[in-house]
Every structure is written in C-alpha cells, then in structure tokens.
Amino acid sequence: MEGVVVLLCVLPLVLSQQQRIFSWEAPGETPAPDVINPCLADQDSCSCCVMLKKKWELERYLNTSLNSLEGSLARAQTTLRNIRENRVAFSTGLADKRRCVGPVKAAVNVTYQSIFINIGEAYNSTTGVFTVPRSGVYNLALTAFSDAGSPGVSLAICVSIRQNGVALAALREKYDQDQEDQATVVLLAELRVGDRITVSLQPGCWLCDDQNHYNTFSGFLLYATE
C-alpha cells in the first residue's frame, strides 16, 4: 500500500511538462531557497504528500509514546520488585495450647511460639527476638493477657517492648479485684538494621494463654529509610 501511495505522489511530477524540483524537508530542516513548493503547481501532489507527511508524524508520535510507556512500566516493575524483596512482617501468639509464663524473679524475654506469619524470617521463636533486617519505620503491637487463677488472687501483668534492651513502651497491671485482665499497646518506631526488638516480662508478673491467642506480638515495616 505504501508503494502505491509513493507512486501516486511521484507520478504527477514525472508527467508534468515543466521541470520542477520537489523535496519534503524533515522536521527542523530548512529548505533550500530555490526549491519550488509543489503545492503551488500541483494540488494533487500536494494532498498526497501531506498525507504521507502526517503518516510519518503519527508513526514518530506513536513510537515516542510507546518508548515512554515502556520506560514507565520498567520503573514500576523495579519498584514492585524492591517492595517484594524487602517485605518484613511477623505476627505471633504465646502458645497454641494452655501455657503460662512466670511469675519470674528477674526480667526475661518472652518467647512467642505460635507463628501466624513471619515474612523475611526476622523473628526467632526460640529466642523471642525480632532482628531488624532493614532500616525504616516499623509498626509494633503488643497485647498482654493474664489469668490470676481464681478470684481474689493478685493479678500481675507487666511487660514491655524493648529496643536493644531499652523500653519503648510498657503495659502494667497489678490488681486483686479481677481474675483476668488484658491490655494492648501499638506504636511506630524508627529502627536500624541489626536492632533487637523483644518483649520483656518483669519480675513478679506472668502471662497466660491458650489456643485463643490472648497474648500476641506483631510488627511490620511501614517504609524503609535507607
């Protein structure tokens, strides 16, 4: 089809008795001063070449748009790949069956043994330590539950979320009017690679849990800073 279009453009010029010079300048090029505009002498030739020029302009526009879209797609794929490769999230429960921790004479790290999710494998259920794999802002959440065992017995909940041994937030409840009690804390913290996040049970306190998972410890990377 393109060959037919070109032939139609050229044929009027060949058959013309007058000798005319015809050229189509590319965008940005200045025609020589002695070149005769074919549109002034041959309207058929002019219409044909204008169509061909518009066709080439459209091809260039489509190619440029396609290249731009391909570049945007490549950047989006790179961003998505980075997000997937750096996902960090964990959520744990104290136990899958009846289990109490404490009371203790000295502070100890609570080991949450029921793992709901551990993307990135940064939480260690043996030591109870979440080791930060990437610097960023993290969401941390802790819910603590305790059962005094019988009415009138002193209830003691006292745990804290710690960053490298330093308390970030704590839950504390010592009461002799309730047999059971529960509390939750949620916070954002800017953490660095290698930081150790733990839940510390304080002296004289205890936690109790079962398959209902009253005690949970969770965290996830909100966004990276490095």
Decide if 201 contacts 145 (C-beta within 8 A): no
Distance CA(71)–CA(217), nearest Å, equals 42
How many residues are recorded in the chain?
226
**Stretch 18-23: mean pLDDT, rounded?**
43
- Residues 119-128: pLDDT tens digits? 999 999 999 9
Is the pLDDT reported for residue 130 higher than 90? yes
Closest CA to 158 of 196, 195, 204: 204
Residue given tokens 């518009």 in the structure block: 54
Closest CA to 129 of 201, 199, 186, 190: 199
Question: What's 31's DSSP letter?
Answer: P
- Portion of the chain with pLDDT greater than 70, in percent: 70
**Of 91, 83, 106, 124, nearest in space to 224 by CA:** 83
Per-residue pLDDT tens over the stretch 43-78: 556 667 777 777 788 888 888 888 888 888 888 887
Q: Quick one: which H or E segment has residue 80?
A: helix 43-85
Q: Is the pLDDT of residue 8 over 60?
A: no
Whole-number Å distance between alpha carbons of 93 and 123: 12
Q: Can you give the pTM of this predicted structure?
A: 0.62
Nearest-angstrom CA–CA distance, 146 and 176: 12
In single-letter form, the type of residue at position 61 comes to Y
